[in-house]
């Protein structure tokens, strides 16, 4: 019987047929596992690794791709991410900021928004991103970040309504995306199935409208995992992959 010798290690055929998916619902723990996995590889002993706990990375990448279909996100635009402290919102904010969008990251608690923004600035120095409290942003009206934004993404918890229909209609935003699929909507008046549905000057996306792109990115990521260069796929790499689809 053939025996695997620990000294010999895995064969290149075994490595080529192996990949690691880091999922789960504890995003911080998943990130730690992802980092540990990458640090454990050495020389040619490495395999593809995908980080997508709670679907946060693929969902965030899909939301940014939906927005980019209608907005030249690369430079100069403004975006607001409601529910920006959660796993999905943080990633949407980080991806947009890295693409040159001036982002306002919103939480019900301004201190939590500030702590999240500090983390993003550490991860991606030099990006334009500011924290804000939900109540202040809504109350600021025509002078505030919400009124200036071309893009508003709601990434609040399932079933948490963050903007009323009236507040949404008062926005000048070209694209409004609600990633919450559980009623009531995160932005009242956006249905989960909306996919670039026009309402006045705005184009609306719901969670399922973004979900088909999310699934395409997920499938492409699984295929990419087995490539010879053994990629490590975090949010940025998934967005780049999504751009090619």
Ligand X SMILES: NC(=O)c1ccc[n+]([C@@H]2O[C@H](COP(=O)([O-])OP(=O)(O)OC[C@H]3O[C@@H](n4cnc5c(N)ncnc54)[C@H](OP(=O)(O)O)[C@@H]3O)[C@@H](O)[C@H]2O)c1
d(CA 175, CA 177): 7
Q: In 149-232, which residue ranges form alpha helices assigned H by DSSP?
A: 165-169, 207-225
Stretch that binds ligand X, among 14-22, 29-37, 41-49, 103-111 (CB under 6 A): 103-111
Residue 213 C-beta-side C-alpha neighbours within 13 Å? 30
CB of residue 33 vs ligand X: minimum separation in angstroms? 18
80 DSSP β-pair partners: 104, 152
d(CA 225, CA 220): 9
Check binding of 160 to ligand X (CB under 6 A). Answer: yes
Integer angstrom CA distances of residue 100 from 2, 59, 97, 148, 196: 55, 20, 5, 16, 23
When binding is defined by CB under 6 A, the residue of 83, 131, 231, 242 that contacts ligand X is: 83
Check binding of 195 to ligand X (CB under 6 A). Answer: no
Stretch that binds ligand X, among 40-48, 50-58, 64-72, 137-145 (CB under 6 A): 50-58
Check binding of 242 to ligand X (CB under 6 A). Answer: no
Check binding of 104 to ligand X (CB under 6 A). Answer: no
206 CB-contact burial (10 Å; exposed 0-12 / middle 13-18 / buried 19+): buried
When binding is defined by CB under 6 A, the residue of 88, 95, 176, 204 that contacts ligand X is: 88
Check binding of 190 to ligand X (CB under 6 A). Answer: no
Check binding of 64 to ligand X (CB under 6 A). Answer: no
Q: Which is nearer to ligand X, 38 or 197 (CB)?
A: 197
Q: Which is nearer to ligand X, 13 or 28 (CB)?
A: 28
**Residue count, binding to ligand X (CB under 6 A):** 26
CB of residue 7 vs ligand X: minimum separation in angstroms? 43
Task: Give rounded-to-5 percent helix, strand, coil for the chain.
Answer: 45, 20, 35
What backbone phi and psi angles, to 5 degrees, belong to 129?
A: -150, 135
- Per CB under 6 A, residues contacting ligand X are 54-56, 59, 83, 85-89, 107-109, 112, 155-158, 160, 179-181, 207, 210-211, 214
């Amino acid at each position: 019987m053939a025996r695997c010798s620990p000294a010999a290690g895995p064969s290149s055929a075994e490595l080529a047929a192996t990949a690691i998916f880091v999922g789960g619902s504890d995003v911080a723990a998943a990130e730690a596992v992802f980092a540990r996995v990458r640090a454990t590889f050495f020389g040619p002993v490495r395999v593809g690794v995908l980080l997508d706990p709670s679907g946060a990375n693929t969902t965030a990448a899909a939301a940014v791709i939906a927005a980019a279909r209608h907005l030249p996100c690369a430079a100069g635009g403004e975006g607001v991410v409601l529910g920006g402290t959660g796993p999905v919102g943080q990633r949407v904010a980080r991806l947009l900021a890295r693409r040159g969008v001036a982002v306002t990251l919103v939480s019900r608690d301004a201190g939590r928004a500030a702590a999240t923004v500090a983390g993003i600035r550490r991860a991606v120095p030099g990006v334009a991103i500011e924290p804000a409290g939900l109540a202040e942003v809504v109350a600021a009206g025509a002078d505030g970040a919400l009124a200036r934004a071309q893009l508003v993404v709601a990434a609040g918890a399932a079933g948490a309504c963050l903007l009323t229909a009236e507040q949404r209609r008062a926005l000048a935003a070209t694209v409004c995306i609600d990633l919450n699929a559980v009623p009531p909507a995160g932005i009242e008046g956006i249905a989960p199935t909306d996919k670039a549905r026009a309402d006045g000057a705005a184009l609306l996306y719901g969670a399922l409208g973004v979900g088909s792109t999310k699934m395409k990115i997920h499938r492409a990521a699984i295929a990419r995992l087995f490539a010879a260069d053994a990629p490590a796929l975090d949010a940025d790499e998934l967005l780049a992959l999504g751009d090619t689809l």
